[in-house]
Amino acid sequence: MRGTKRIDLRFALLLGLAAMLLAVVALAPQLCPHDPNAQVFEVLQPPSWAHWCGTDRYGRDLFSRVLVGMQTSVCSTLALVVLITIFGTAVGVACGYWGGVVDGVCMAICDVCLAFPPLVLALALAALFQGGLAQAVAALAVVSWPKYARLTRSQTLAVKEADFIQAAKLAGNTGPQLLVRHILPHVLGPIVVTATLDVGTMMMELAGLSFLGLGAQPPTAELGSMMSAGRSMLQTHPWVIFAPGGAMFVAVSIFHLLGDGVRDHLDPRRNIYKR
């Protein structure tokens, strides 16, 4: 019982941290003490009471830009994860349940995508799309959905021959009804865990594309592009890169810990604590 309470308390704390982060992201424009794009201050000022994170080479308030950059990074990442989760899950469930030629073609496409290092393929696609935040999201989506399709397909294959599925067929449920009412709820657990864990990973990969100039373009505030703009001043004006880097570290850490918490919370073996 104590183990269960410890897990629940930790999970509640992680949910609270994630909720606070999302609240900051949602209210970022209102929380900015200055216009994030206004070049009205002295350049490269160190952190102070007037500018908590200092100013950049153009005289913009870094704290304001970090808040808006956090909003850009988190919202883009969440949109990416939702997109690949929905599409990959739909493809995997359909292929696992109906099989046939479509299953073979889709799994062959998945194998081709998974044969390349994901970030290398995303770099090539983002360069082909000529850069931009939306293009970077699209490039990562192309290389990331096969993982969800493979996972969902394997879960569907394991569930579709179960006795309760056969009983549902005898009760007159059609194929789409079986998928939505019976199969999908039984395969969502691993998908939710994978998606939650992927938020931090996708945020870093999206920031990596922006860092290389293939993601968000100036003057858009995005954590990866901000770190790229300040990398040459790491030794002389370190706050220019530490501010967005610290924000990235906090956001990724929260989402990774939340993913671990979701995995532990959904793990059926946690019931052993109640014994």
Backbone phi, psi, residue 46, to 5°: -70, 165
In the structure encoding, which two tokens stand for residue 258, read together? 């939340």
Determine how many CB atoms are found less than 10 A away from the CB of residue 133. 21
CA distance 51 to 62: 7
CA distance 225 to 230: 9
Q: Residue 219's pLDDT is what?
A: 85
Torsion of CA 171, 162, 111, 215, to 10 degrees: 70
Q: Residue 267's pLDDT is what?
A: 64
Nearest to 93 by CA among 164, 167, 190: 190
Q: Residue 271's pLDDT is what?
A: 46
Predicted TM-score (pTM) of the model is 0.89
Q: Report which DSSP code applies to 140.
A: H
Q: Residue 272's pLDDT is what?
A: 42
Q: Residue 270's pLDDT is what?
A: 52
Q: What is the mean pLDDT of each run of 10 residues along the chain (275 residues)?
A: 60 92 95 91 91 93 95 96 95 89 91 87 89 92 94 89 80 78 86 92 93 88 92 91 94 92 71 44
CB 140 within 8 A of CB 122: yes
CB 58 within 8 A of CB 36: no
CB 119 within 8 A of CB 205: yes
Q: Residue 102's pLDDT is what?
A: 87
Nearest to 156 by CA among 104, 235, 92: 92
Give the domains, in start order, of the chain with CATH numbers.
2-274 (1.10.3720.10)
Query: 60: left (phi > 0), else alpha (psi -120 to 50), else beta?
Result: beta
CA distance 172 to 168: 7
With the C-alpha atoms ordered 188, 258, 245, 217, is the resulting torsion angle positive or negative? Answer: positive
H helix intervals, the chain: 2-26, 28-31, 62-98, 100-115, 118-128, 133-159, 163-170, 175-178, 184-211, 223-230, 239-266
Q: Residue 27's pLDDT is what?
A: 95
